[in-house]
Structure 1
Amino acid sequence: MGRKVKYSYDFKLRCVEQVLKKNQAVSTVSLLNGIHHTSLHSWVSFYEKHGKKGLLPRENQEYSLKFKLKVLESIVDDSLSLSQACLKFNIPTKSAIMNWQRNYKKLGITGLNNKPRGRPRSMEFKRAKKKSNKPLTREDELLLENESLRAELDLLKKLQALVLAAQSKKR
């Protein structure tokens, strides 16, 4: 299942064309269409740099370690702002680069590795032992009986402790 896109491709293209081809101001177009002017500015920039591809909705993309390093190095070497870096490398949001910078400062190059997505498995379930058709040996039977008697004894001890606790509360 893909992520929900707030504005359709056609809507973005229509707004950008109003600005570029009809020579309307960004603020006017943004007010008419009910969008924020900074969004429209970025759409226009992406359209000018990458053409119609720049307006296509992007799936959550995983960037390689090499690419992330290249982006961070070019920000430092070329003195790029986050917006300029997004435009140059076709990254949809500045927050992605900000996260890379923060992780790189904290953890170094290992902070740029892609992390596994989704909820981690919290418990490993023990598989039930398969029952075999072979009859149990006398020793196995005694072990099973011993185990069940211990469980029953533990249950009775807990029940007795609860009863004593309830009686002491009444007193």
Structure 2
Amino acid sequence: MSKYSTELKLKIVERYLQTKCSKKSLAKIFNVSRSDVEKWIALYENQGAEGFASVYTNYTVEFKLSVLNFMIETGTSLIETAAIFNIPTPFTILRWKKILEK
């Protein structure tokens, strides 16, 4: 279960898109972290509202490697990469990267 509701995430993203209020200001207004606001905006821009559907996924090794390769080749950030591949948290990708480096 997600810490924040889909409705809240959409409300924040819609406010950002309609007003171009800063991510820092939105985080303060809604009492969430700035990184969460950034993540939700990137997710919405890449996946639309469907990106907020919470589904547990067991990722294959091939998928993990393709995500890491994509991030390296394109230079996208953890947040952008997570949004593109609809991975709920960028820290999942960071964990995969650390495991690969070992």
- The alignment's TM-score, normalised by the length of structure 1, stands at 0.53
1:1-171 matches, cutoff 5 A: 4-56=1-53, 58-106=54-102
1:47-92 Cα offsets, whole Å, 9 max, x none, are 1111101222x23311112211111222222233322321221212
Give the CA deviation at 1:99.
Answer: 1.8
* Matched length: 102
Cα distance, 1:23–1:100 mapped onto 2, change above 3 Å: closer
Cα distance, 1:39–1:60 mapped onto 2, change above 3 Å: same
**Larger C-alpha radius of gyration, 1 or 2?**
1
Distance (Å, rounded) in 2 between the aligned partners of 1:81 and 1:27? 18
Cα pair 2:47 2:84 within 8 Å, conserved: no
Distance (Å, rounded) in 1 between the aligned partners of 2:20 and 2:28? 15
Identity %: 28
Aligned-CA RMSD value = 1.8
More helix by share: 2
1:16-35 Cα offsets, whole Å, 9 max, x none, are 11111233332222222111
List gaps (5 residues or longer) in structure 1: 107-171
- Provide the residue aligned with 1:111 in structure 2: none
- The alignment's TM-score, normalised by the length of structure 2, stands at 0.83
